[in-house]
């Protein structure tokens, strides 16, 4: 087995994370205690530690039947359950823990997990939206607040961050990740792991994080959830794994494998991913949980004959904990006794689980996280709400502002707030909302009403409903395609107003798990509404609330102002109003491109050049004949109420040695009238490689705050190791040759220089 050195740009920043995580999982004293415990455990008790059930409290999968619940409670008492997911609240978790600790022979505490993805009670923007802030401090803070709330409610472990790079907005789960780029994804992964886990897993405001979904899930064919994936080793290493590697280096305590196969091998049964790379090359000491039922799903995948067979494959491949397949608890002991599974594999898996339980302090006090008073206080914290508002406004991306319609004048006579999402207090909470209270978000209408003086008239019309029927995790959104009865009132409201704020997009449960779509345009009657409103009043500010990028079609040209506000969380309405009225100058940048057309997907700015990059006269080059190759809004893009100019970039040396580094500098000037924040981005292109290289790759970014007229020299240190990639030789290294170096405010509009690696 070779050792891959990941000495990319992250290495330096990771070195500054004191005490981060998984290193803290392993220490001689704990290992001794684990040895002692293992020596006392029966085989069945060991297997029990690898068994995870969902409680019936709040399910993120099929609810357990009454019979299954009884089995669970009986097994908990017997010490045959190591973990429960979806049990929440200080009281409920305490009761559940009591069952294990007061009844089982060895009193081993259980670990309670939940999908705490972008908040527990206080919702922050959905992860993709939050990543648009390009503010790693904000991501860390948001994860820490989520952890503080969840930990007070008795939880020990979140199934996040999700770090699947994806180039395909058809895939509904793109909303849960950090977008299309492995470098930004790695930075986001580290920030979130730091936020959830802090410096000390045993602290009462931290919980164990989980790097998921390992691996390749974001590359499901045709963007259809759970679908087949076939990735080359080079794409796996260069594109998919960097966030996971970074999370492992940052000390993430757990990993979750993924539902998909890669090249015919389901991840749950993939020893290359789990044993060779994760536990071998990266030396990961924590444990891997399967995804929900993914051990059992190796049967329909056609990779295992039975649940028993699947269980053997999974434990052998390095899946340590079985989430809801009920395969380990049913078969693993017998498989060991029959000599089909080596008991050392079970021991190793149990050791990994126990390490995390020790680090969380559960052996000192199994109830330490279940604290009713702390829970009450944490869940009602005004500071958490203030932070959610701050992160939400940093996440908003101004896509278009023709005619400078924004920022709006608070003294306008009449503002019409229109659209299916205008007064919606639920959609902004987004999918994967943990214990958010349904309908508890500040709506856009409320945000605008709170922002303007009483002399400004705010009129509201829904126009059309977006969805009808139930809105929850287990229900498919039913789109309204027939009820147009509200359109005339919306037109009337638009006509009466100085300016229209029109809120459209996606319902919370339109993106997320199992929410893949072939069409990512406006669903239902929204385009009809937009058209009717535009005919009544041209001064329209289109506010998009979405989990993913949409294709905007004709509206991109016809509407003067477009703002992407994502599903912005509990304080969404206030945050959007902050931006619309200019109290906050928008600074968000897209973490994933907005395509012009769904047929362009999958797409990334970091594509390969091909042998026929064009443009050429005629048809025989790599282009569509009916549309541009380019996205509507590229990766890294976002406007401000001011404008920024960039000088030509400078490199401190034209050549760089194999262990050297250069400084890349550019002078950024705020050329407008308002103070603003710019995300300055650094890209490179490796012109010739032993494997073909992308036309651009993000290698760094910095947020700078500039007063009107102010200039700042922004300098990046680019090390030779930042140019490394997984080469044809199967090594992580930089290859000598020429590189282009770009700086700019997005991945398209850049200025260029170059250097040579000796
Ligand atoms: C399945 C999802 O894929 C995963 O992300 C989640 O953590 C589990 N269900 C538990 O809810």
* Smallest CA separation from ligand 1 atom 3, residue: 291
Q: Is the pLDDT score of 19 beyond 50?
A: no
Q: Is 61 in the pocket of ligand 1 (CB under 6 A)?
A: yes
Q: Tell how far the Cα of 226 is from the centroid of ligand 1, in angstroms.
A: 12
Q: 64 pLDDT band (50/70/90 cuts)? A: confident
Residue 247 C-beta-side C-alpha neighbours within 13 Å: 35
Closest atom of ligand 1 to CA, residue 115: 7
Distance from C-alpha of 631 to C-alpha of 445, rounded to nearest angstrom: 31
Residue 386's contacts (CB-CB under 8 Å, 6 or more residues apart) are: none
Name the pTM for this structure: 0.96
Q: Is 725 in the pocket of ligand 1 (CB under 6 A)?
A: no
Per-residue pLDDT reduced to its tens digit, 506-544: 999 999 999 999 999 999 999 999 999 999 999 999 999
Q: Is the pLDDT score of 11 beyond 60?
A: no
Alpha-carbon Rg for the chain, nearest whole angstrom, is 26
Per-residue pLDDT reduced to its tens digit, 651-702: 999 999 999 999 999 999 999 999 999 999 999 999 999 999 999 999 999 9
Q: What is the helix (H) or strand (E) element at residue 307, kind and residue range?
A: helix 307-317
Distance from C-alpha of 707 to C-alpha of 700, rounded to nearest angstrom: 23
Cβ neighbour number for residue 415 with a 10 Å cutoff: 27
- pLDDT at position 22 is 55
Average pLDDT (721-745) is 98
In order of 144, 196, 406, 454, 473, the CA distances from 207 in angstroms are 9, 6, 41, 45, 24
Q: Is 693 in the pocket of ligand 1 (CB under 6 A)?
A: no
Q: Which two tokens stand for residue 235?
A: 């794409």
Per-residue pLDDT reduced to its tens digit, 612-632: 999 999 999 999 999 999 999
* Smallest CA separation from ligand 1 atom 4, residue: 291
Average pLDDT (300-321) is 98
Distance from C-alpha of 738 to C-alpha of 757, rounded to nearest angstrom: 6
Average pLDDT (117-140) is 98
- pLDDT at position 57 is 65
Q: 61 pLDDT band (50/70/90 cuts)? A: confident
More confident residue, 10 or 430: 430
- pLDDT at position 62 is 75
Mutate to test the pocket of ligand 1, among 56, 58, 59, 61 (most ligand atoms within 8 A of CB): 61
Q: 66 pLDDT band (50/70/90 cuts)? A: confident
Q: Is 291 in the pocket of ligand 1 (CB under 6 A)?
A: yes
- pLDDT at position 3 is 33
Residue 749 a catalytic site member: no
Residue 118 C-beta-side C-alpha neighbours within 13 Å: 34
Q: Tell how far the Cα of 642 is from the centroid of ligand 1, in angstroms.
A: 41
- pLDDT at position 10 is 33
Q: Tell how far the Cα of 131 is from the centroid of ligand 1, in angstroms.
A: 20
Q: Tell how far the Cα of 403 is from the centroid of ligand 1, in angstroms.
A: 45
User: What mean pLDDT is reported for the chain?
Assistant: 95
Q: Is 159 in the pocket of ligand 1 (CB under 6 A)?
A: yes
Q: What are phi and psi of 9, to 5 degrees?
A: -60, -20
Q: Is 173 in the pocket of ligand 1 (CB under 6 A)?
A: no
Would you call the peptide bond into 29 cis, given omega within 30 degrees of 0 as the criterion?
no
Q: Tell how far the Cα of 482 is from the centroid of ligand 1, in angstroms.
A: 34
Q: Tell how far the Cα of 133 is from the centroid of ligand 1, in angstroms.
A: 25
Closest atom of ligand 1 to CA, residue 86: 11
Closest atom of ligand 1 to CA, residue 113: 10
Please list the residues that pair with 65 across neighbouring strands: none
Average pLDDT (193-222) is 98
Q: 298 pLDDT band (50/70/90 cuts)? A: very high
Q: Is 513 in the pocket of ligand 1 (CB under 6 A)?
A: yes
Q: Which two tokens stand for residue 489?
A: 């009132």
- pLDDT at position 56 is 75
In order of 58, 297, 323, 512, the CA distances from 86 in angstroms are 5, 21, 12, 18
Q: Is 217 in the pocket of ligand 1 (CB under 6 A)?
A: no
User: Out of 181, 291, 390, 686, which one is annotated catalytic?
Assistant: 291
Q: 13 pLDDT band (50/70/90 cuts)? A: very low
Mutate to test the pocket of ligand 1, among 63, 214, 323, 512 (most ligand atoms within 8 A of CB): 323
Q: What are phi and psi of 95, to 5 degrees?
A: -60, -45
Average pLDDT (634-647) is 98
Mutate to test the pocket of ligand 1, among 118, 160, 267, 292 (most ligand atoms within 8 A of CB): 292
User: Where in 407-550 does DSSP place strands (E)?
Assistant: 414-418, 457-461, 467-468, 478-479, 499-505, 540-545
Q: Tell how far the Cα of 52 is from the centroid of ligand 1, in angstroms.
A: 13
Distance from C-alpha of 630 to C-alpha of 623, rounded to nearest angstrom: 10
Distance from C-alpha of 136 to C-alpha of 195, rounded to nearest angstrom: 10
Mutate to test the pocket of ligand 1, among 160, 161, 256 (most ligand atoms within 8 A of CB): 256
* Smallest CA separation from ligand 1 atom 9, residue: 292
Q: Tell how far the Cα of 400 is from the centroid of ligand 1, in angstroms.
A: 36
- pLDDT at position 282 is 98
Per-residue pLDDT reduced to its tens digit, 159-187: 999 999 999 999 999 999 999 999 999 99
Q: 65 pLDDT band (50/70/90 cuts)? A: confident
Q: Is 58 in the pocket of ligand 1 (CB under 6 A)?
A: no
Q: Is 297 in the pocket of ligand 1 (CB under 6 A)?
A: no
Distance from C-alpha of 686 to C-alpha of 466, rounded to nearest angstrom: 46
Distance from C-alpha of 657 to C-alpha of 296, rounded to nearest angstrom: 51
Residue 548's contacts (CB-CB under 8 Å, 6 or more residues apart) are: 128, 169, 172, 174, 175, 506, 511, 520, 592
- pLDDT at position 513 is 97
Q: What are phi and psi of 530, to 5 degrees?
A: -60, -45
Mutate to test the pocket of ligand 1, among 60, 210, 512 (most ligand atoms within 8 A of CB): 60
Q: Tell how far the Cα of 255 is from the centroid of ligand 1, in angstroms.
A: 12
Q: Is 60 in the pocket of ligand 1 (CB under 6 A)?
A: yes
Distance from C-alpha of 71 to C-alpha of 66, rounded to nearest angstrom: 9
Q: Tell how far the Cα of 529 is from the centroid of ligand 1, in angstroms.
A: 36
Q: Tell how far the Cα of 115 is from the centroid of ligand 1, in angstroms.
A: 7
Query: Percentage of the chain with pLDDT > 70?
Result: 97
DSSP secondary structure letter of residue 267: G
* Smallest CA separation from ligand 1 atom 11, residue: 60
- pLDDT at position 63 is 78
């Amino acid at each position: 087995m070779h050792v891959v050195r990941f000495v990319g740009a992250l290495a330096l920043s990771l070195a500054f994370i004191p005490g981060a995580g998984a290193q803290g999982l392993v220490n001689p004293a704990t290992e001794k205690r684990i040895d002692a415990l293992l020596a006392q455990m029966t085989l069945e008790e060991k297997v029990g530690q690898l068994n995870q059930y969902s409680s019936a409290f709040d399910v993120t999968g099929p609810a357990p039947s009454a019979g299954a619940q009884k089995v669970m409670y009986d097994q908990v008492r017997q010490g045959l359950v190591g973990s429960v997911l979806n049990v929440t609240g200080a009281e409920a978790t305490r009761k559940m823990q009591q069952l294990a600790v007061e009844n089982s022979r060895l009193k081993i505490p259980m670990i309670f997990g939940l999908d705490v993805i972008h908040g527990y009670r206080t919702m922050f923007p959905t992860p993709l939206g939050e990543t648009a802030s390009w503010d790693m401090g904000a991501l860390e803070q948001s994860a820490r607040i989520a952890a503080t709330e969840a930990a007070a409610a008795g939880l020990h472990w979140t199934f996040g961050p999700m770090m699947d790079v994806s180039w395909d907005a058809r895939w509904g789960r793109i909303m849960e990740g950090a977008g299309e780029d492995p470098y930004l994804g790695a930075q986001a992964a580290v920030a979130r792991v730091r936020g959830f886990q802090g410096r000390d897993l045993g602290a009462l405001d931290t919980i164990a994080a989980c790097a998921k979904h390992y691996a390749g899930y974001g590359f499901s064919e045709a963007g259809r959830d759970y679908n087949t994936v076939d990735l080359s080793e080079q794409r796996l290493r260069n594109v998919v794994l960097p966030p996971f590697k970074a999370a492992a280096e940052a000390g993430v305590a757990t990993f979750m494998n993924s539902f998909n196969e890669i090249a015919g091998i389901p991840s749950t049964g993939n020893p290359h991913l789990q044993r060779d790379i994760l536990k071998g090359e990266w030396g990961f000491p924590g444990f891997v949980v399967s995804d929900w039922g993914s051990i059992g799903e190796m049967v329909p995948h056609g990779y295992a004959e039975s649940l028993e067979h699947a269980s053997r494959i999974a434990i052998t491949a390095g899946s340590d904990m079985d989430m809801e397949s009920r395969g380990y608890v049913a078969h693993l002991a017998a498989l060991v006794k029959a000599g089909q599974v080596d008991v050392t594999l079970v021991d190793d898996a149990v050791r990994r689980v126990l390490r995390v339980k020790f680090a969380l302090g559960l052996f000192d006090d199994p109830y330490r996280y279940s604290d009713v008073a702390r829970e009450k206080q944490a869940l009602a914290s005004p500071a958490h709400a203030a932070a959610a508002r701050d992160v939400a406004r940093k996440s908003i991306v101004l896509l278009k502002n023709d005619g400078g319609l924004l920022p709006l004048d608070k003294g306008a006579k009449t503002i019409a707030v229109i659209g299916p999402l205008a007064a919606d207090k639920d959609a902004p909470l987004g999918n994967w909302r943990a214990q958010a209270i349904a309908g508890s978000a500040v709506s856009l209408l409320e945000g605008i009403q709170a922002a303007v003086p009483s002399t400004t008239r705010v009129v509201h019309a829904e126009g059309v409903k977006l969805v009808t029927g139930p809105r929850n995790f287990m229900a498919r959104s039913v789109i309204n395609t027939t009820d147009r009865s509200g359109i005339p009132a919306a037109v009337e409201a638009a006509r009466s107003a100085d300016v229209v704020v029109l809120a459209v997009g996606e319902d919370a449960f339109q993106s997320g798990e199992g929410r893949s779509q072939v069409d990512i345009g406006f669903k239902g009657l929204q385009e009809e509404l937009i058209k009717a409103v535009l005919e009544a009043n041209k001064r329209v500010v289109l506010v998009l609330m979405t989990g993913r990028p949409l294709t905007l079609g004709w509206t991109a040209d016809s509407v003067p102002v477009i703002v992407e506000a994502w599903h912005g969380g509990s304080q969404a309405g206030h945050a959007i109003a902050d931006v619309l009225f200019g109290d906050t100058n928008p600074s968000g940048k897209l973490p994933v491109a907005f395509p012009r057309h769904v047929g362009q997907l999958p797409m990334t700015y970091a594509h390969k050049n091909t042998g026929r990059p064009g443009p050429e006269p005629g048809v025989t080059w790599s282009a569509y004949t009916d549309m541009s190759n380019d996205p509507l809004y590229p990766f890294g893009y976002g406007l401000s109420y001011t404008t920024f100019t960039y000088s030509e970039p400078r490199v401190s040396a034209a050549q760089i040695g194999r262990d050297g580094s250069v400084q890349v500098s550019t002078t950024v000037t705020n050329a407008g009238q308002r103070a603003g924040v710019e995300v300055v981005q650094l890209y490179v292109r490796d012109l010739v490689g032993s494997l073909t290289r992308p036309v651009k790759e993000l290698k760094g970014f910095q947020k700078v705050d500039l007063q009107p007229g102010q200039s700042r020299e922004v300098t990046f240190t680019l090390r030779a190791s930042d140019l490394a990639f997984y080469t044809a030789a199967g090594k992580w290294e930089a290859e000598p040759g020429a590189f282009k170096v770009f700086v700019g405010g997005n991945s398209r509009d850049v200025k260029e220089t170059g250097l040579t690696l000796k």
